[in-house]
Amino acid sequence: MIVVRVVQRGDVDALMRLAHETGPGLTTFKPDREALAARVERARRTMEDKAEPHEAGYFFVMEDTDTGDVAGVCGIETAVGLKQPFYNYRVSTVVHASQDLGIWTRMSALNISHDLTGYAEVCSLFLSPRYRTSGVGGLLSRSRFMFLAQFRERFPQRLCAELRGHFDADGTSPFWRAVGSHFYQIDFNVADYLSSHGRKAFLAELMPRYPVYVELLPQEAQQCVGLTHADTIPARRMLEAEGLRYENHVDIFDAGPVLECHIADLRTVRESVLVPAQIVDTAAAAPQDGPRSMVSNTSLGDFRVGVVAGVPQDGAFLLRAAEAAALGVNAGDPVRVQPQKHKQGRS
């Protein structure tokens, strides 16, 4: 069974193997043992309540419990920007009007902002190419909302997610060409690497200090503002279905959109229910071709979530023994259940 679970200290080797499957571009998940071990340690320390607020963050792995194969990762940062500033552009509206001339024009300006400071962030999602057709990407991404629902008190009021912006077929960003390259004078990938590794001093030194008028930029750069990378559109749809919205914040390098919401408004937080688990034999369990639910345990240090057949019935949820074992659930334990929209069952 495929489950998503919080990372354990023993996962570093498996993470190294998985990280070798990433291509260039993903800057936060590289086959760097020291960095991966630190990330795991940080997540464990967070769950042990030993992490400072600025370093608190959770990290999850997707595992096939039948084979022990680790096939994906994702993360949640508790509160961004508390040590290194968290920069975005806020896309503001500027109206210029003259009654005398009968002129009214609306423009947009990009303002460097720290508006999202203190927001939780869902991040670092990577799914092995070997699993991309198996319909488990949705589970990997949504598992984090189950965690947020279960441990609501460990998070601030709001959540954000940064999405990759538009890149040309040659892999370059028109927005970076038109804006960032003039200010930062370094390659996009270098800037992205430095920024995602906490070396953000250059941003403050080099970034535009005044708002940038969008309409004065070349057309191809204007179109990038808030535009999602073609490969990231499914992720955006999933986040939007969960309740996140584009609220006029974009990335400072590629102008990709930032999606935001109040954690309390997340669909999974609003709709998921806690019910006791009953462990039943296969004959008594829900049919595999019927409605399905995302189900998690309630353990912080061994949080596990997966998709199983069935919906809550009579104030309880029926799990097969194998499912209960994979999810780390004993009979009578509370489980968090989020019934899936039927058509999304295996999507």
Partner 1 sequence: MLFVRPGRLADLDALEHMARTAQPVLHSLPHDRRALEARVALSEDSFRADVDFPGEEFYLFVLEDSESGKLMGTASIIAAAGYSDPFYAFRNDALIHASHELHVNRKIHALTMSHELTGKSRLAGFYIDPSLRGETAAQLMSRARMMYIAANRKRFTPEVFSLLLGVTDENGVSPFWEAVGRKFFGRDFADIEIESGGRSRTFIAEVMPTYPVYVPLLPEAAQCVLGEPDSKALLAYEIHLEEGFETDRFVDIFDAGPVLTAQVDRSACVTRNETRLVRESAAAHGSTYLIAHNGGAGEFRCVLGELAVNKDAGASLSHAARAALGVEEGDAVRCVPLHAPHRDEPSGEAQ
Closest CA to 73 of 136, 148, 159: 136
Tell me: does residue 183 bind partner 1 (CB under 8 A). Answer: yes
SS3 84: coil
- 3 forms beta bridges with 63, 306
Nearer to partner 1, 173 or 272 (CB): 173
Nearer to partner 1, 201 or 230 (CB): 201
332 binds partner 1 (CB under 8 A): no
Q: In the complex, what is the shortest distance from the CB of residue 106 to partner 1, in angstroms, rounded to a whole number?
A: 10
Cα distance between residue 47 and residue 155, in whole Å: 12
Nearest to residue 294, comparing CAs of 322, 264, 321, 323? Answer: 323
Q: Which of 103, 170, 198, 342 binds partner 1 (CB under 8 A)?
A: 103
Two tokens, residue 39: 């990330």
Encode burial over 213-250: b for 16+ CB neighbours within 10 A, e otherwise: ebeebeeebbebbbbbbeebeebbebbeebbbebebbb
CA distances from 18 to 31, 72, 107, 127 (A): 8, 7, 45, 9
Determine, following the binding rule CB under 8 A, whether residue 186 of this chain makes contact with partner 1: yes
Based on the shown chain and the rule CB under 8 A, indicate whether residue 101 belongs to the binding site for partner 1. Answer: yes
Is position 179 an interface residue for partner 1 (rule: CB under 8 A)?
A: yes
C-beta of 205 vs 289, nearer to partner 1: 205
Q: Which string of b and e fits 168-178 if b means at least 16 CB within 10 Å?
A: eeeeebbbbbb
Q: Which is nearer to partner 1, 95 or 283 (CB)?
A: 95
**Rounded Cα distance, 112 and 114, in Å:** 7
Residue 100 binds partner 1 (CB under 8 A): yes
Q: Which residue has the tokens 């970076």?
A: 176
Active site residue 249: no
Closest to partner 1 by CB, 190 or 241: 190
Site string for partner 1, 194-233 (x = CB under 8 A): -----x-xx--xx-xxxxxx-xxxx---------------
Near partner 1 by CB under 8 A, which window of 44-52, 100-108, 130-138, 242-250? 100-108
Q: How many residues does the chain have?
A: 347
Shortest CB 224 distance to partner 1, Å? 13
Strands (DSSP E) contained in 2-56 are 2-6
Q: Which stretch binds partner 1 (CB under 8 A): 39-47, 62-70, 103-111, 125-133?
A: 103-111
Place of tokens 């004959």: 283
Determine which one of 20, 96, 182, 229 is catalytic: 229
Binding partner 1 (rule: CB under 8 A), the pick from 9, 33, 114, 182 is 182
Binding to partner 1 in span 35-94, by CB under 8 A: 94
Question: Hey, is 22 helix, strand or coil?
Answer: coil
Q: CA–CA separation, 326 vs 160, rounded Å?
A: 30
* Stretch near partner 1 under the rule CB under 8 A, chosen from 13-21, 123-131, 179-187, 311-319: 179-187
Asked if residue 109 binds partner 1 (CB under 8 A), the reply is: yes
How near is the Cβ of 202 to partner 1 at its closest, in Å? 4
Instruction: Kindly tell me which residue out of 185, 288, 313, 330 binds partner 1, with binding defined by CB under 8 A.
Output: 185
Pairwise CA distance, residues 111 & 90, whole Å: 5
Kindly tell me which of 151 and 183 has the beta carbon lying closer to partner 1.
183
**Which parts of this chain interact with partner 1 (CB under 8 A)?**
94, 96-98, 100-101, 103, 105, 107, 109, 178-179, 182-186, 199, 201-202, 205-206, 208-213, 215-218
Q: Which residues carry out catalysis? A: 229
